[in-house]
Amino acid sequence: SEIDIYVHAPYLINVCSPRNNVRYGSRKILQQTCDAAGAIAAAAVVVHPGHAEDGIEAGIGRWPRTLEMLESEVPVLLENTAGGDHAVARRFDALARLWDAVSGYEGPIPLGFCFDTCHAHAAGEELSDAVERALAITGRLDLLHANDSRDPPGTGADRHTSLGTGKMDTGALRAMIRAGAAAGAPIVVETPGPRAVLEADLEFVRAALQ
């Protein structure tokens, strides 16, 4: 296909867990996902950074070891997440600490960042400059997930809906799409619905970029 394929790692992955069985199992699933992505020459693997019951700092500290153990032919993109009191990439202050921890990785796997509009809304972040603030933290934007939300801001609910039909400010959503494109990030829509609805979402993105 001439269209790049992005693989999203299973949501059950949580390499930040203090529980050995969860953490080791998560690393194994992430490795299997990267292997499968490499087999189809995917553009990248997107993964949620996870959460830690024993605190964000402890969870963040488990990511460098995960990267040291991981082997991948494709880039791995860490994504901002929607909810969870101990999520290591929900609020931007935690994202900054996570990025500081993984920035010391000097291995062969290209490490990048994926920004999700719904997740930023669910986390309660100010959306007017959210992409710019995230970019200031990570220094890069490799992919943008353009999604509206079925829920009000700050609820932590990760429930996507069609662009322009949910609880997100439509102007802010358009601005985030434009900011992502300006940063050079491909735009991927992750909304549910039949073909006609998905086509309308793609048209929303195209209109936002005009």
- Over its length of 210 residues, how does the chain's per-residue pLDDT go in tens digits? 789 999 999 999 999 999 999 999 999 999 999 999 999 999 999 999 999 999 999 999 999 999 999 999 999 999 999 988 899 999 999 999 999 999 999 999 999 999 999 999 999 999 999 999 999 999 999 999 999 999 999 999 999 999 999 999 999 999 999 999 999 999 999 999 999 999 999 999 999 999
As given in the structure block, the two tokens for residue 73 are: 């032919």
Please tell me the predicted confidence (pLDDT) of residue 15.
Answer: 97
Helix (H) or strand (E) holding 148: strand 148-149
CA 177 to CA 209: how far, in whole Å? 7
Whole-prediction pTM: 0.96
| Residue written as token pair 């880039």 | 75
Tell me what pLDDT residue 191 has: 96
Rounded Cα–Cα distance for residues 145 and 101 (Å): 24
Q: 181: helix, coil or strand? A: helix
| pLDDT attached to residue 150 | 97
